Structure 1
Amino acid sequence: MSDSGPVDDTAFARLVFELNLMSRHFPATVRRRPGFALDRSAFLILTRLDLNGPLSLRELSEAFQLDISTINRQVGAMLRQQLVERVPDPGGGVARKIRATDQGMAALTADRRQRAAGIGSVVADWDAADVAELGRLMRKFNRSVEQIEHNPWPRPPQTGS
């Protein structure tokens, strides 16, 4: 699995267990906490639009590796909530693009703050080095998944150290 030798079966089993447990905690925490404006799909679509700018339904479908009808349904709900709008392709293409509205960006900003506060409360008593190390390892894990799926996810510019 790595250049440093085989992964210990116990360590690997613990990793699998903890990742499964984390996938249980995060959505449940968001649903239980009041004040979130966006559902999971709207949060992720707005995040992608924030990082990439306007995208077509096909580009969103490819980015999320979902059927275009699923993306169309999710974007349709977001259009009704005025979180996104259809705009002409800034590059002059035929397909219309989906762009976040000011209302959508405000909801995304609010939900990001809410999520950061929740995660902050979880790691409040951690050493800064542990927080940085978890972030580094999560980024490494996510990039490995993206490489296997041939589907890189854009990341915001790094701030600070």
Structure 2
Amino acid sequence: MSDSGPVDDTPFTRLVFELNLISRHSLATTRRRPGFLLDRSAFLILTRLELSEPLSLRELSAAFQLDISTINRQVGAMLKQELVERVPDPDGGVARKVRATATGRAALTADQEHRAAGIGAVVADWDAHDVSELSRLMRKFNRSVERIEENPWPRPQRTDS
């Protein structure tokens, strides 16, 4: 093993390293493990639709900070799979909106349960305080990103208010 010099071992550099690893683990577990029904984009779009009223392609584009053509392609694939459907704007606007179908909601629920089981296996030997603390810190981190990007993400109602 070659000596590459001193390692910058600060809390910040350890955080950056661990966040790099968590993104690696997250992608690897959802791609390689059988049982997942949705690809990443469908999972994320359905998760967003679950948290709000139907959204237009422009609203989805803004929410994901993606070009509208990318969202249009992703939603088009989801329409073919009958995961979403186009509906009139409930507020009477001209643009049609997208909402999850029963098939899409069922697939999302199944994948959410599959993901929860995987995460549950990872933290199975953790005490409740550690799980709660990680959840709190992840929420704080995500909200900081959302604030910087000026792109808040809706969250489900909390039961522990």
Normalised by the shorter chain, which TM-score bucket?
over 0.9
Q: Deviations over 1:79-124 (max 9, x none)?
A: 0000000000011000000010000000000000000000000000
Q: Which residue of 2 aligns with 1:148?
A: 148
Mapped partners of 2:111, 2:73: distance in 1: 22
* Corresponding residue for residue 88 of structure 2: 88
SS at match of 2:10: helix
Displacement of 1:160 in angstroms is 3.6
Alignment match, 1:3: none
Give me the whole-angstrom Cα distance separating, in 2, the residues matched to 1:77 and 1:11. Answer: 42
2:106 is matched with: 106
Match of 1:138 in 2: 138
User: 2: CA distance between counterparts of 1:159 and 1:73?
Assistant: 36
Q: Which residue of 1 aligns with 2:127?
A: 127
* TM-score, scaled to structure 2: 0.93
CA RMSD of the aligned region, Å? 1.2
Q: TM-score, normalised by structure 1?
A: 0.93
- Counterpart for residue 45 of structure 1: 45
Write the letter of the residue equivalent to 1:58. R
Question: Which amino acid in structure 1 is aligned with residue 101 of structure 2?
Answer: T
Distance apart, 1:9 and its partner CA: 6.3
Amino acid at match of 2:18: E
State the identity %.
Answer: 81
Structure 1 runs (4+) deviating above 4 angstroms are none
- Counterpart of 2:4? none
- CA distance in structure 2 between the aligned counterparts of 1:9 and 1:93, rounded to whole angstroms: 54
Helix, strand or coil: the match of 1:52?
coil
* Structure 2 CA distance for partners of 1:9 and 1:151, relative to 1, 3 Å: farther
Q: Distance in 2 between matches of 1:50 and 1:102?
A: 11
Deviations 1:3-56 (A, max 9, x none): xxxxx9611000000000000000100111111000111001001101012000
Q: Distance in 2 between matches of 1:62 and 1:32?
A: 30
Residue in 2 aligned with 1:79?
79
Letter in 1 for 2:11: A
**Where do 5+ consecutive residues of structure 2 fail to align?**
1-7
Structure 1, gaps ≥5 residues long: 1-7
